[in-house]
A and B are shown apart, each in its own frame.
Chain A
């Protein structure tokens, strides 16, 4: 396995924050973060395209697909500092609890993001577009088109 693509929910603040955290960590296996449902994600993985990304999906360069709790564990496994933890979390004693925790967090991610005031990338992008804050002509033109 040479690389992993992580499909995350860019409309969720918690997930966007997690994205930057993942990108900031030292990786043993390089991670590429893609917003689930984005054009690039649909182009690359047409069979995985889902309108509402309800769970984290990780796809390896060999086509192995990990979903939900398994995807979380594989993300940790890819990180230098947390590979140790991925083995612990995947052990039979902890896996059911990890599953519960991931389900609990995933189902409440929007509410938690609001409570923690974590802004999703998609919302910030929309706000920037709406305010016409980006200086480039390309960006402004897209804003006009949307209106």
Chain B
């Protein structure tokens, strides 16, 4: 009897698709998040680039960690049909995790930016009078 090669091939395809997807999302984040961070850090590009890089590293670690942990399956594929089913459910989960992580990153970016804008904002209402002040 020939050994079942479907699981190994499924795993390889799963890992390559998942890692490529992770890289694609991380690069998108890295490229488009930078401008937010530069704004959030009041034009301090060095700090923005550093935080951006750190965020992307965290993103890679969590996603690739998840991909690795979710690799093993209890229902081994035995033909093309079961292999596709397995890949679709595994990659679907990876996509959902990526989506969730991406969303979290967006929240972090917008929080940082909003904070930066708020910290320097003047009072929203004008004073009704002005008096000389003693020390």
User: Hey, which bits of chain A sit against chain B, CB under 8 A?
Assistant: 1, 28, 44-45, 47-48, 59-67, 69-70, 73-74, 77, 83-84, 86-87, 89-91, 95
Contact = CB atoms under 8 A, between A and B. Distances in A.
A65 B129 contact: yes
Given A65-B128, A67-B128, A86 B123 contact: yes
B124 interface: yes
A70 B126 CA distance: 8
Contact of A73 (B118, B125, B131): B125
A63 B118 contact: no
Contacts of B133: 44, 59, 61-63
A65 B131 contact: yes
Contacts of A59: 131, 133
Contact of A87 (B121, B128, B131, B134): B121
Contacts of B118: 83-84
Interface string B94-106: 0000000000000
A70 B131 contact: no
Contacts of A28: 119
B132 interface: yes
B131 A74 contact: no
A74 B127 CA distance: 9
A14 to B, nearest CB: 22
A88 B28 CA distance: 33
A3 B73 CA distance: 61
Contacts of B123: 1, 66, 73-74, 77, 86
A70 B128 contact: yes
Contacts of A86: 123-124
B131 A66 contact: no
B127 A65 contact: yes
Nearest to A87: B124
Nearest to A98: B125
A1 B118 CA distance: 14
Given A48-B131, A59-B133, A61-B133, A66 B121 contact: no
Nearest to B129: A65
Given A45-B131, A77-B124, 11 more contacts: A59-B133, A62-B133, A65-B127, A66-B123, A67-B128, A67-B129, A69-B125, A74-B125, A86-B123, A90-B125, A95-B125
